[in-house]
Structure 1
Amino acid sequence: MLLELIQRRRVLFLGGKGGVGKTATASAAALHQAASGRRVLLVSTDPAHNLGHLWDQRVGDEPVELYRNDTTGGVLRGVEIDPQRTIDEHLAEVGATLRDFMPEHLHPQVAAHLKLSAHSPGTHESAILERIAVLIEYGLDAHDLIVFDTAPSGHTARLMALPEIMSTWMSGLLTRRSKAERFGAAVRVLDGDDDPASNAPSNRDQRIRQVLTRRKARFEMLREVLSNPKTCSFVVVLTPERLPVLESVELCAQLRESGVDVGGLVVNRLTPRDAGEYLAQRREQEQRHLDSLSELLPGVAVDTLPMLSGDLVGPAAIQRLAHELR
């Protein structure tokens, strides 16, 4: 399921409960596609990054090469979104816009407000969302596929719903901006200034409108990508245990409510049946959870990955996991 799905998409999100192997599965899928000749960008949105640890090399906020196949022309690059850098850049832009609104003597208050905003609820999410939008907006020019390794379920479900919320919010800001410009023009006329040139939008007004329009277009683009099943899908990764199964069912419902296509499920670390009585009994229990998953999410494709021996570290180990994908 996963390989067939990913071959027909430009953007793929993998998410699920914490600790179920999202990063390993996303890396294996991305590596498989790069080996077959595609240009792939692998992005971690989880603040607790594991991408660099998994690949056993330094990965940061700018793309670094993780794999290259000179025979097929495929290449895999990795990015770990730096939340603090994203928030700093996000607030710097917001701060420049706010200072355009305010007289100079209020600029210190703007700085104090932004310092508090850096720790306010929603700031982290909106900043990360905009960085995801930028990576999709520009990353698809240089890559055939972008694979996102996301944060645990609750954070990711909220993130998937935000493009609609942010797009509507930006529309509201633009509407209010237009009203403010018209009000300012009316005041100037009442003051006896009927020169058309003086009633034209100021450089400040134009800059504010440009910023708002650009951000609105960016969030609308992201909303369109997320809601287009021909371009984007979400794959839920889980382990064959009761809590991950139940959390995955809830995540699928939240994703569908947000208009995001659920492409399938990958059940990771399935215990072998032929490795002794203890593990055989555990495998039977896991099968019951798999049966429950099929009943709770009828019609959703399910792939399984076996439990592998040894630590999953480095390209060779990720390649072994990629061979298990279907």
Structure 2
Amino acid sequence: MRMRRALVSAWGPRMATQPVIGTVCGVLAIMLFASFTLVSRMGFSATALTLPDMAMLRFAVAGLVLLPVLIRRGLGPLRWLQAALLVMTGGLGFALFAYAGFRLAPASHGGVLLHGTIPLLTLVLVRWCSKTPGRATGWAGPVLIQTGILIMVWDSVRGAPVHQWLGDGALLLAALCWSAYGLLNQRWRLAPVHSVAIVATGSLACFAPVYLLVLPASGLRAAPWHDVVFQGVFQGLLIGVVSGLLYTRAVASLGAQRTALFTAAVPCVTTGAAVWLLDERPSGWAWAGVAAVTLGMAIAMRSRRTP
């Protein structure tokens, strides 16, 4: 009995702080995710930087910063195929699809179709991997999220140019990649810095040779140095390293599904900020989609029966 009390006294406070730490990390990660859409859109619209330039800045800064971590730890318990899956989902797949979506679709669509669909896609992947039948309770939030997605798709198809719905498709693929990355981290239980180091350096190793082939068409030389430095620090350090560490740490404390629900605020914040910073004017359908997704994620976060 005394031993049990001693164990509770020793481990109780530490375990109690885990949800708090996970919540703080999740909130900070979501703040960076919201700014990710806006800063990327500003980079494409206000500078000469192209999609390969933005991706290379992200991978180069993050990969070089975290290279010593990978040299020291190696792949750890992972096999090469498992490490490749992390790189393809959390690195190359997510970044390239996201940048393509930001380049082709409005910021309001980025907030909804990228960050807003992560909880729903995470839920779908969990159900698909576990192969367990769904329950009838706790589906109000996911249904609203899906409704918002369909509204945004309708807004793209209804009189919009072809490139806009291509951008929407790229954003959905980016969200699918990030959902898979969160679940893989939860399954393999890697330390956050170790997981992000594998993703960052692996992405740099894979993308650098491709970037050298398209270098003649790059806008990197034409862009002012302060734009290059700003995007390099933001995309590579804050998004490529810090946001990945925060999100992975939140997954370790709260689980992939609960962490994914933190994106409830991203669509509304991104759309509102885009009106002010990017002078975008979302349609009524776009605002309806933002409202449906935000409300759906808020319901899902409050529900204890969310499957």
TM-score, normalised via structure 2 length: 0.24
User: Could you say which structure has the larger radius of gyration?
Assistant: 1
Greater relative contact order (Cα 8 A, min sep 6): structure 1 or 2?
A: 2
TM-score, normalised via structure 1 length: 0.23
Q: Which has the higher strand share?
A: 1
Q: Which has the higher helix share?
A: 2
